[in-house]
Structure 1
Amino acid sequence: MDMRPEPFEPPAPTPRVGVPSYLKIIKTVLRNPLELWGEPSYTLPWIETKFITQRTLIVNDPGLIRYILVENVSNYEMSKVRRLILRPILRDGLLTAEGEIWKRSRKAIAPVFTPRHAKGFAGQMLRRSEEFVERYAAAKVKPFTTNVASDMTELTFDILAETLFSGEVAVEREGFVQSVEELLHRMGRVDPMDILLAPEWLPRLTRIGGKKVMNRFRTIVSETMALRRQRMATDPTGTPNDFLTLLLQTEGANGLSTEEIEDNILTFIGAGHETTARALAWTLYCVANTPAFREAMETEIDGVMKSGADPVEWLTLMPHVLAAFEEAMRLYPPAPSINRAAIEEDEWTSPTGERVRIPKGIAVLVMPWTLHRHVLYWDRPRAFMPERFLPENREKLHRFQYLPFGAGPRICIGATFALQEAVIALAVLMHRFRFDVTDETKPWPVQRLTTQPRGGLPMRVSAR
């Protein structure tokens, strides 16, 4: 008899049944887009829908995803809805830029995020993580309860500020976290006007007050750039050769404009760390509900720590820690949707001969949220089972059934950076402390720009 406990199924919306009215669709999207998707989105390889005049192809088949994001990527651009949501925030940052602007930005930023360069950040990531856990150690009440969602935002900001900006970001951590949360609340949500594809100049009532938050962020970026320009002018040999300096060195001529540099700095300060922060919080929550795997992680962490291995090697030496983080990103993908639109008519044929016609102008939606929970591609898709990502099982996964960082030319440039950061942070946190759920720990995933726990994620922290 199999005496193993049932795997933990963390909270998530159940597939919607039936066809909702237009009004209900709008209300659901405004409340939480993750609650919109019906059973076909979790069971069929592709499905075509229509909302008013906008047709959408929802794509789950890994082969078709590969075709759209890699093989014929030049035929697909960012969808209008996605632009309407993101461009008011990020403008021409790497996440939202198109065409030549995107190519220039990618070329300028790529050297910072090569795997070799990213590994060079390991020591800084370790130092910032160790400094962060000292705050837990200094807590007057032990054990204590804390909102790990906010805590992970602070930790990842510390790491981002140290590694990419050498500690020279013109804002304090506490003010930054508050600004990020307000920005996502005000600006990172779908407005009815976006659903109706209304022109950008029409006001979005749900984003009233968002401009003030955006101006605050733009001020942070402007002051950060000014501080670094001054240092580059007065102390060129002592200026850190980091992400910020690299971007400013591309300014003008055939490089990036001042506005494009500002957009990219805002993208990395505001959004680049947010995805990792959310995934870390969800990992701690899921692991707390999976005690046997948590014990395996703790044993692994303690052994590596005791060995004195260089943190640059931890990503390889801690497969259980990495697997837990990757499984959390499967269930709660930081970027839950990838939105494209067909520039010209297209067609794809499956290995079994089925043809998928892709009309010109149709919205193409690749959703890690539904793909990662799809019954055709995952065993027990709603369960937290990190062993899926252990080295001996990883080869069973199709490259395009798991997309936490996207795929193709626009794959997240900081993927290696984020994975290394996550493993180091989790190892430091779990070596010193244990995270457990409380009666107040009742998270519900909500899609804003990222997959967030509504109301935060309170957890009890105790020393090991």
Structure 2
Amino acid sequence: MDTKPAPFVPPAPKPRTTPPSTLEMMRIVYRNPLELWGEHTYNEPWISVTGIGGPLVVANDPGLIRHVLVDNARNYKMATVRQLILRPILRDGLLTAEGEVWKRSRKAMAPVFTPRHIFGFAEPMLRRTLEFVTRYEAGGTSDIAHDMTLLTYDILAETLFSGEIADEPGSFAKEIDHLFETMGRVDPLDLLRAPEWLPRLTRIRGRKTMAYFRNIVAGTVRMREERLKRDPDGVPQDFLTLLLKAEGPDGLTRAEVEDNIITFIGAGHETTARALGWTIYCLAEAAWERDRIEQEIDAVLAREPDPTKWLDAMPLTRAAFEEALRLYPPAPSINREPIEPETWNGLYIPKHAAVLVMPWVVHRHRKLWDRPDAFMPERFHPENRDRIDRFQYLPFGAGPRVCIGASFAMQEAIIALAILLSRFRFDVTAETRPWPVQKLTTQPQGGLPMQVSRRGQSNSRKSV
């Protein structure tokens, strides 16, 4: 009799059973905040304590999360600690801007991410992926985490910037890893809410890399401005052009334009890259899931040439990607801070408290998920999706500041997975021992070295 294999449980820190000392906590937060949380954090609807930086509320209850991110969002600003980490990198980009600056930026970018534009990006996404996978023709071992960073960079450059980013992508991938290794970490002074003017030694090492990215932006803007002057009617109406056209007295400043370019070149592709890498890894460890997904992809590619239809036509592939997003949310923490104190269902939230909505914890909460640490894509199969509360699954956030590029990322991911898994098989090796580490995103420490081999099937469509 056939029995279903036990689900794969991918690597993750075990919840702590004893609280750390203050010094140990600061070391953990700098090294890997994912290792900080205790068993009670994964079982309680919320945690309210006073820490070294002041009051702290960890929000796990979907109703409380909805209250903070949606129902009473006006009373919550971006948390001080989060801004201390991100603003030196992104300044007034969409992820870190607030108030009127955020409203102007969101309005300027909204036209790029309408369904019509998203569908228009599908063919360039497909084209770039087909060009990218030729590197695997000879087989061998490759770091898939690094590769997915390059692939999503290629797609971002082609779709949002029409291939006009002033840099060579190989050096880009190396530099962005260094940027997140240095400036993307929590500094002990951040926890203590020290003044911004006090130097963070952990970020001094990242200044050269930050200058590198700023030079990319300056070169990218300069190239597009020159093209606008030469041929204003022939310039693509992409993300870059729309940002430049939004520049002016009632729109974006030049600094805001550059900050948003940095945000999308840096953080905008990084999240999808990490999610793709974790998905491929989990499928390699869960061969029974991979077999079903390969069959689905082969069948769809054989009958459906239009990549805009793949997201809906591949529910198993989508479910695997969404389950990887659950286990390894690219943005593992959403940080807010109340402007005024309030009480929610008996929970008192003082003014200036650090309110943490952590997808990493919420997605693994014992009271919200069955077997929360296991890789089980069936959670997201069409017949099961209604069982998942909107506010217990937050890979793209929620509320007014929900990720503007969520639909872009989902379409990109399914197209990439369809091409990668239709042509090649990715298997773990003895060196594949990833450990999730929180920097700006949930990254696999040590990378994802995997064996790549040609599948050799003949039933996928000729054109791909």
Tell whether the structures are fold-level matches, with TM greater than 0.5.
Answer: yes
Alpha-carbon deviation of 1:109? 0.4
Q: Pairwise mapping of residues 60-459 of structure 1 onto structure 2 (< 5 A)?
A: 60-137=60-137, 139=138, 142=139, 144-349=140-345, 355-459=346-450
Structure 2 distance, partners of 1:248, 1:208, is 31
Structure 1 distance, partners of 2:281, 2:385, is 23
Structure 2 distance, partners of 1:53, 1:216, is 33
Structure 2 distance, partners of 1:31, 1:67, is 31
Secondary structure of 1:395's counterpart equals: helix
Contact 2:329 2:359 in 1 (8 A): yes
Alpha-carbon deviation of 1:53? 4.7
Secondary structure of 2:50's counterpart equals: strand
TM-score between both structures, scaled by the size of structure 1? 0.97
Structure 1 distance, partners of 2:5, 2:308, is 35
Secondary structure of 2:351's counterpart equals: coil
Alpha-carbon deviation of 1:309? 3.1
Alpha-carbon deviation of 1:294? 0.6
Contact 2:218 2:258 in 1 (8 A): yes
Secondary structure of 1:50's counterpart equals: strand
| Superimposed CA distance per residue, residues 179-213 of structure 1 (whole angstroms, 9 cap, x where no aligned partner) | 11111111110111111111111111111221111
Deviates more, 1:201-210 or 1:81-90: 201-210
Letter in 1 for 2:213: F
Secondary structure of 2:383's counterpart equals: helix
Aligned residues: CA RMSD: 0.9
Secondary structure of 2:164's counterpart equals: coil
Secondary structure of 1:398's counterpart equals: coil
Structure 1 distance, partners of 2:356, 2:304, is 45
Secondary structure of 1:255's counterpart equals: coil
| Superimposed CA distance per residue, residues 145-165 of structure 1 (whole angstroms, 9 cap, x where no aligned partner) | 100000000000000000000
| Superimposed CA distance per residue, residues 32-62 of structure 1 (whole angstroms, 9 cap, x where no aligned partner) | 0000001111000101122125111000000
Letter in 2 for 1:216: Y
Gaps of 5+ in 2: 456-464
2:51 paired residue number? 51
Structure 2 distance, partners of 1:322, 1:52, is 41
Deviates more, 1:432-441 or 1:201-210: 201-210
Structure 1 distance, partners of 2:274, 2:441, is 8
Secondary structure of 1:128's counterpart equals: helix
The sequence identity of aligned pairs, in percent, is 64
Matched pairs, number = 455
Secondary structure of 1:306's counterpart equals: helix
Contact 2:53 2:192 in 1 (8 A): no
Secondary structure of 1:392's counterpart equals: coil
Alpha-carbon deviation of 1:315? 0.4
Letter in 1 for 2:415: I
Letter in 2 for 1:44: E
Structure 1 distance, partners of 2:201, 2:353, is 27
Structure 2 distance, partners of 1:2, 1:359, is 56
Structure 2 distance, partners of 1:260, 1:6, is 50
Contact 2:53 2:193 in 1 (8 A): no
Letter in 1 for 2:179: L
Structure 2 distance, partners of 1:90, 1:208, is 16
Q: 1:3 to 1:192 in 2, by over 3 A?
A: same
| Superimposed CA distance per residue, residues 366-422 of structure 1 (whole angstroms, 9 cap, x where no aligned partner) | 000000000000000000000100111101100100000000000000000000000
Letter in 1 for 2:310: W
1:352 paired residue number? none
2:459 paired residue number? none
Contact 2:436 2:442 in 1 (8 A): yes
Letter in 1 for 2:421: M
Secondary structure of 1:292's counterpart equals: helix
Structure 2 distance, partners of 1:424, 1:245, is 25
Secondary structure of 1:434's counterpart equals: strand
Q: Pairwise mapping of residues 7-22 of structure 1 onto structure 2 (< 5 A)?
A: 7-22=7-22
Deviates more, 1:52-61 or 1:269-278: 52-61
Letter in 2 for 1:454: Q
TM-score between both structures, scaled by the size of structure 2? 0.97
Structure 1 distance, partners of 2:2, 2:424, is 32
Secondary structure of 2:447's counterpart equals: coil
Structure 1 distance, partners of 2:323, 2:283, is 10
Structure 2 distance, partners of 1:360, 1:89, is 27
Structure 2 distance, partners of 1:345, 1:55, is 12
Contact 2:167 2:216 in 1 (8 A): yes
Alpha-carbon deviation of 1:356? 1.5
Structure 2 distance, partners of 1:384, 1:376, is 17
Letter in 2 for 1:181: D
